[in-house]
Chains A and B, each alone.
Chain A
Amino acid sequence: EAGVTQSPTHLIKTRGQQATLRCSPISGHTSVYWYQQALGLGLQFLLWYDEGEERNRGNFPPRFSGRQFPNYSSELNVNALELEDSALYLCASSPLPFRTGEKYEQFFGPGTRLTVL
C-alpha cells in the first residue's frame, strides 16, 4: 500500500513569493493534516481538512491557506513568503471516523523542505 506522498521534496523561494505544496493521502483516508516544523522545533499544527472542508486551523496567519480536492489530495499555499517560513512542511493523513477502541493513527509523508531566501 502506498504511503502519504508529498511534492516537491525541496522548494526554494525568495521573500514575497508564493509557495504551493502538495500532498496525496493514503488511499481511503479522508483526513489530511498539515504541520510546520522549523529547524530544531517541534511540529506546529497548521491545518486539518476532512471531506473537502477545513475542520481546524492552527495559530498561523491567513497567508497560510489550503484546500482539499474531491480525491482527498491537498494543497498548502503560503503567500508573501517570509524568511521564517523556512521549514519542513509535513502532511499526514488518517481515516475517519474514529471508533472507540480502535487505534487512531496519523500517517506522515516525508515532507517538503521549503527554503526562503
Chain B
Amino acid sequence: LAKTTQPISMDSYEGQEVNITCSHNNIATNDYITWYQQFPSQGPRFIIQGYKTKVTNEVASLFIPADRKSSTLSLPRVSLSDTAVYYCLVGEPGGYQKVTFGTGTKLQVIP
C-alpha cells in the first residue's frame, strides 16, 4: 500500500491559487490518485481522481508527473469556503486494498 506524505497545514489568501503536493514514492502500477475534501464534523467529499498527466474538473486540477511519485492538487482562486482538510489517497480502486486517508492538509483561507 503506497504511503503518502502531505504538508500538515497551509495558509492562503482569498482569490489566490493554492497548490497542495502529495508524495507517494512507492505508488504501484495499478494505483490511482484521489483527493478528498473534508469540512469539520462532515464526511469527506470526492474532489478529483487521476492516473497520469493532468485532470481538470469544475473545482480543481490534478497534476501528475510522468514518474507518478507525486501529485499536485490545484485549487484556483480559493474562497473562505475552501477552508477544509484535503486528503491525498493512493490505491487501487475497487481492489482489495485498504485505502488510507492519513492526516491530510489543513488549508486555512484568510480574508
Please report A residues at the B interface, Cβ cutoff 8 Å. Answer: 4, 33, 35, 41-45, 48, 55-56, 58, 88, 90, 92, 94, 96-98, 103-111, 113
Number of residues in B with C-beta < 8 Å to the partner? 22
Q: Are B94 and A45 in contact (CB under 8 A)?
A: no
Q: Is the interface of B mostly helix, strand, loop or mixed?
A: loop
Please report B residues at the A interface, Cβ cutoff 8 Å. Answer: 32, 34, 41-46, 49, 87, 93-104
Taking CB atoms, residues of chain A closer than 8 Å to B32 are 104
Taking CB atoms, residues of chain B closer than 8 Å to A48 are 98
How many residue pairs between the two chains, A and B, have CB atoms under 8 Å in the bound complex? Answer: 57
* Given A55-B96, A56-B96, A103 contacting B49 (CB threshold 8 A): yes
* Given A42-B104, A96-B94, A110 contacting B42 (CB threshold 8 A): yes
* Given A55-B96, A98-B93, A105 contacting B101 (CB threshold 8 A): no
From residue B2, how far is it (CB to closest CB) to chain A in Å? 14
Q: Are B87 and A42 in contact (CB under 8 A)?
A: yes
Q: Are B43 and A109 in contact (CB under 8 A)?
A: yes
Residue of A whose beta carbon sits closest to that of B55? A103
* Given A41-B103, A42-B102, A104-B32, A92 contacting B43 (CB threshold 8 A): yes
Q: Are A43 and B94 in contact (CB under 8 A)?
A: no
Docked pose: A35 CA to B44 CA in angstroms: 11
From residue A94, how far is it (CB to closest CB) to chain B in Å? 8
Residue of A whose beta carbon sits closest to that of B99? A45
Q: Are B98 and A45 in contact (CB under 8 A)?
A: yes
Q: Are A110 and B43 in contact (CB under 8 A)?
A: yes
Taking CB atoms, residues of chain A closer than 8 Å to B96 are 55-56
Q: Are A108 and B87 in contact (CB under 8 A)?
A: no
